[in-house]
A and B are shown apart, each in its own frame.
Chain A
Amino acid sequence: MNSQKYDFAVVGAGVSGAWIAYELSKYTAKTCLIEKENDVAMGATKANSAIIHAGYDPVPGTLMAKLNVRGNELVRELHEKMDIPFRQIGSLVIALSEDDEAKIRELYERGLKNGVKGLKILTKEETLALEPNLSDEVRGALLAETAGVCSSFEMSVAPAEVAENNGVDLIRNFKVENVSYEDGYTILVSSDGKTVAARTVINAAGVHADEIAALFGDDSFTMTPRRGEYSILDNSCKDLVRHVIFQPPVKYGKGILVSQTVDGNIIVGPTAENIDDKEDKSTTTEGQKTAFDGARRSVPSVSERDVITSFSGIRPIGGKGDFIIGFSDANKALFNVAGIESPGLTAAPAIGEYVIEKLIESGHKFVKKDDFDNTRIVVRFKDLSDEEKNRKIAENPLYGRVICRCETVTEGEIVDSIRRGAGARDMDGVKRRVRAGMGRCQGGFCGPRVMEILSRELDIPMSEVTKFGGGSRMTEKETL
């Protein structure tokens, strides 16, 4: 078989896969990043709380604890260089009962053991001074200063882009369905018969990681999809809370939070429900009610009336109580990176580092490239001063044409999001990268114009523009 040959094939371009590819792109090893969808960040990565956790939550001594704390450091260190939207707003775990007070003290102790800096237990008065809209029932809180909010899309778009710019091949629409072996290579075969050969396959397939492992004869873990429902409130509510507000953790996760998003909206959620279908990202009436009832325990004035959109995410639960990272016992051609549940988003940059460490430990020889560059500059027109705006428009008049009115996104930014490394290929891809269509009209006005730009840039007919690849065509055909 005449397949393109790689040293490493990373399967899954979610946040873990993207950061692994990013780390590998620092070396001369030949790497590809394989994704079954039309874009990166299509699984658990695209729909979660987008919180950069401080690291007081995981049990001391676990990989989760170690990689969470290191990941938090890396995000704070890299976000400016790589232009990843991040705001270190701090988090509060609030206590609403005596039980809760004991729990936050326990979290504080754990945090110290995990090496988390900037932790403090606050009194009721201190808590309410920081967050006047919290419930009167609040009795105190655990403040974690290093926590923050990010764009979870950009947390994987940025490393995927840097990886592609530094020589990694991003292969989209490649759903691994079969494997065979040839001359020391594993041949990955896609559902439509394409092939890729790699010496080592890194399985970062998220909720589908167990299916990939099974193709290699590894049935050592099973992924359970856990659905979480969220709502986003209009940015007129942005001052409702200023920190990430958690309640103490419950059996199924960190409970329902109320937080600012990195863009200044308010997010409410998630629920936690184990489901059967790994792709079932539907929202439900009951789920929305659970989320809001839960959120109102923290912030009584949170209201469904301010919702601009709701969505569900699937968290990949590995069932081992810790991340599963290492070579498969069943097949040495396979390296698993599975069960990357919360705090996976925070940990992802550290997961990338840790994978390289493990590969080196097992005898892989890496040679550093001397021209690796992780600088990334994204123009965000809305955030520029008027002088900077005028300079950009003089350079490229497309920055003077506002396409999305709700979020003030220009044609220049949309074109840029399509042309750059790991660029957008569909409507959701544009929306996630530059926010066109994410505002209060939800793409009602800018949708047709974004379709025009995608059609022009990708050189496809308007009728072939999709919402998110595959059969998700925006329109059916041209009119008669």
Chain B
Amino acid sequence: MIINADVAVIGGGPAGLAAAIECRKNGIENILVIERDRQLGGILNQCIHPGFGLHVFGEELTGPEYAQRYINMLAETDIKTMTDTMVLSLSSDRVIRAVNAQTGVAEIHAGAVILAMGCRERTRGMLRIPGTRPAGIYTAGTAQRLVNIEGLMPGKNTVILGSGDIGLIMARRMTLEGSKVKGVYEIMPKSGGLKRNIVQCLNDFGIPLHLSKTAIEIHGKERVEGVTVASVDENLSPIKGTEEYVECDTLLLSVGLIPENELSRGAGIAIDPKTKGPVCEKGFETSVPGIFACGNVYKVYDLVDNVTKDSVLAGRSAAEYLKSRSF
């Protein structure tokens, strides 16, 4: 099956939705948004806490509320969507191969492509924390999905490694759901999270934040039974003699996000080794003409409001690109 589109947007999270809507506003007619999950909205669907929308809407919304505003805006247009659809490949001449249960493998030929695949979390494997490999180790985002979407509690006694925003949010969330959060351990001398999250998610609940400390070993055969933590020196190496055993049945990791650029690489798009996102000259156009990038696939953002603002610009650039080519 071959589908033609003026603009194909890969990813139906906040970035993809804002970019698609902006393309429509700029007169582009045949727009297709491809989303791998069963519904639009991306990671916002599991971010049920407030704090979104202060800059864009001037009011405080939860993640699903913020996403819903864009889903509603999209519904008022004739933008087409394919959900539960996985993109398998993207080529430099803007051919997308995507698969779902209804149409099978489809080829989408697009005039312009907007990349909005978001990011993934760094894992235990990448941190190379020694020790055993029991159940009960999750990235903070996966734990967030389990608690907020699946209705499952990862465990009773939680240690959080890394003080990224998702980790801070999950410290509060796990506490509210009845888990004892023993502490948040951050290898750096300061937290990578927003100040307001440290106040509202840790301080307000009496959860200690341990700076310049990290986990050096994971214990437990079937479930996690504990972690050994230690202070680190200025080279981030553990200091002998400062080891401390913390009993827990759950370890959540909030140690950074990585833009998901496997598709971009497949299309030959140049990737910035520092941001791990596409190198974009201006207007969020990548090194491959006609392919644009926005949101966390471009670089990891702190605030969704900023994702929206930049994605609008990316959508506008894609529209301009198409118009300049049709004349």
- Interface residues in chain A, defined as those with a beta carbon under 8 Å from any beta carbon in chain B: 231-232, 279, 281-285, 287-288, 304, 307-311, 386, 389-390, 393-394, 397-402, 405-406, 408, 427, 440-445, 447-448, 451-452, 462-463, 466-468, 470-480
Report B216-247 CB contacts with A as 1/0, cut-off 8 Å. Answer: 11000111000000000000000000000000
Query: A477 to B153, Cβ gap below 8 A?
Result: yes
28 A-B interface contacts by CB (under 8 A) = A231-B128, A281-B132, A284-B130, A304-B128, A389-B99, A400-B99, A440-B120, A441-B123, A443-B142, A444-B141, A444-B142, A448-B142, A448-B145, A448-B149, A466-B135, A467-B222, A470-B222, A472-B135, A474-B135, A474-B154, A475-B155, A476-B153, A476-B155, A476-B250, A477-B152, A477-B153, A479-B151, A479-B153
Report B116-131 CB contacts with A as 1/0, cut-off 8 Å. Answer: 0000110111101011
Can you name 15 extra interface pairs (CB under 8 A) apart from A401-B86, A444-B142?
Answer: A307-B128, A386-B97, A389-B104, A390-B104, A393-B105, A400-B100, A401-B100, A406-B262, A440-B120, A443-B142, A444-B120, A448-B149, A467-B135, A476-B154, A477-B152
- B151: chain A residues at CB < 8 Å are 478-479
- A284-B130, A304-B128, A402-B99 given; A393·B153 CB < 8 A: no
- A444-B141, A448-B145 given; A400·B101 CB < 8 A: yes
Query: A283 to B130, Cβ gap below 8 A?
Result: yes
Within the assembled complex, what's the spacing in Å between the Cα atoms of A472 and B220? Answer: 10
Nearest-neighbor residue (CB-CB) of A479 within chain B: B151
Most buried by B among A285, A466, A475: A475
Query: A441 to B128, Cβ gap below 8 A?
Result: no
Query: B150 to A471, Cβ gap below 8 A?
Result: no
Query: B152 to A479, Cβ gap below 8 A?
Result: yes
Within the assembled complex, what's the spacing in Å between the Cα atoms of A308 and B124? Answer: 9
**Contact among A287, A390, A405, A480 for B105, CB-based, below 8 A:** A390
B interface, size bucket: 35 or more
Nearest-neighbor residue (CB-CB) of A283 within chain B: B130
Does B146 make an interface contact (CB < 8 A)?
yes
- Interface residues in chain B, defined as those with a beta carbon under 8 Å from any beta carbon in chain A: 36, 84, 86, 88, 97, 99-105, 120-121, 123-126, 128, 130-136, 138-139, 141-142, 145-147, 149-156, 177-178, 216-217, 221-223, 249-250, 262
- A408-B86, A448-B145, A479-B147 given; A400·B104 CB < 8 A: yes
Query: B84 to A401, Cβ gap below 8 A?
Result: yes
- A284: chain B residues at CB < 8 Å are 130
Query: A393 to B99, Cβ gap below 8 A?
Result: yes
- A308: chain B residues at CB < 8 Å are 123, 125-126
Nearest CB of chain B from residue A308's CB, rounded to whole Å: 5
Nearest-neighbor residue (CB-CB) of A390 within chain B: B104
**Contact among A279, A310, A401 for B125, CB-based, below 8 A:** A310
Nearest-neighbor residue (CB-CB) of B178 within chain A: A480
Query: A405 to B223, Cβ gap below 8 A?
Result: no
- B99: chain A residues at CB < 8 Å are 389, 393, 400, 402
- A470-B222, A475-B154 given; A402·B36 CB < 8 A: yes
Nearest-neighbor residue (CB-CB) of B258 within chain A: A440
**Nearest 8 interchain pairs by C-beta:** A309-B125, A400-B101, A402-B86, A467-B135, A397-B101, A471-B222, A390-B104, A475-B152
Nearest-neighbor residue (CB-CB) of A231 within chain B: B128
- B221: chain A residues at CB < 8 Å are 279
Within the assembled complex, what's the spacing in Å between the Cα atoms of A432 and B97? Answer: 27
Query: A444 to B121, Cβ gap below 8 A?
Result: yes
Nearest-neighbor residue (CB-CB) of B177 within chain A: A479
Nearest-neighbor residue (CB-CB) of A387 within chain B: B105
Query: A442 to B177, Cβ gap below 8 A?
Result: no
Most buried by A among B97, B103, B123, B147: B123
- B130: chain A residues at CB < 8 Å are 282-285, 287-288, 310
- B145: chain A residues at CB < 8 Å are 448
- A279: chain B residues at CB < 8 Å are 221
Nearest CB of chain B from residue A472's CB, rounded to whole Å: 4
Query: B104 to A283, Cβ gap below 8 A?
Result: no
Within the assembled complex, what's the spacing in Å between the Cα atoms of A82 and B193? Answer: 51
For the residues of B in contact with A, the DSSP-based class is mixed
Nearest CB of chain A from residue B97's CB, rounded to whole Å: 7
- A304: chain B residues at CB < 8 Å are 128
Within the assembled complex, what's the spacing in Å between the Cα atoms of A287 and B121? Answer: 26
Within the assembled complex, what's the spacing in Å between the Cα atoms of A307 and B155? Answer: 28
Nearest CB of chain B from residue A291's CB, rounded to whole Å: 11
Nearest CB of chain B from residue A261's CB, rounded to whole Å: 15
Nearest-neighbor residue (CB-CB) of A396 within chain B: B101
**Contact among A310, A401, A440, A474 for B101, CB-based, below 8 A:** A401
**Contact among B104, B121, B178 for A393, CB-based, below 8 A:** B104
**Contact among B84, B100, B156, B216 for A476, CB-based, below 8 A:** B156
Within the assembled complex, what's the spacing in Å between the Cα atoms of A304 and B127? Answer: 10
- B139: chain A residues at CB < 8 Å are 444
- B126: chain A residues at CB < 8 Å are 307-308
Nearest CB of chain A from residue B49's CB, rounded to whole Å: 15
- A282: chain B residues at CB < 8 Å are 130-132, 217
Within the assembled complex, what's the spacing in Å between the Cα atoms of A462 and B150? Answer: 9
- A389-B104, A400-B101 given; A442·B150 CB < 8 A: no
Within the assembled complex, what's the spacing in Å between the Cα atoms of A204 and B37? Answer: 45
Nearest CB of chain A from residue B216's CB, rounded to whole Å: 8
- B120: chain A residues at CB < 8 Å are 440-441, 444-445
Nearest CB of chain B from residue A380's CB, rounded to whole Å: 14
Nearest CB of chain B from residue A136's CB, rounded to whole Å: 26
Within the assembled complex, what's the spacing in Å between the Cα atoms of A390 and B100? Answer: 10
- B125: chain A residues at CB < 8 Å are 232, 307-310, 442
- B156: chain A residues at CB < 8 Å are 476
Nearest-neighbor residue (CB-CB) of B249 within chain A: A476
Within the assembled complex, what's the spacing in Å between the Cα atoms of A447 and B152? Answer: 13
Within the assembled complex, what's the spacing in Å between the Cα atoms of A477 and B124? Answer: 23
Nearest CB of chain A from residue B76's CB, rounded to whole Å: 29
- A402-B86, A448-B145, A473-B135 given; A442·B124 CB < 8 A: yes
Within the assembled complex, what's the spacing in Å between the Cα atoms of A272 and B171? Answer: 40
Within the assembled complex, what's the spacing in Å between the Cα atoms of A300 and B126? Answer: 20
Within the assembled complex, what's the spacing in Å between the Cα atoms of A194 and B250? Answer: 33
Nearest CB of chain B from residue A255's CB, rounded to whole Å: 22
- A283-B130, A441-B121, A442-B124 given; A472·B104 CB < 8 A: no
Nearest CB of chain B from residue A446's CB, rounded to whole Å: 10
- A390-B104, A393-B99, A393-B101 given; A478·B134 CB < 8 A: no
- A282-B130, A400-B99, A442-B123 given; A394·B178 CB < 8 A: no
- A398: chain B residues at CB < 8 Å are 101
Query: B102 to A397, Cβ gap below 8 A?
Result: yes
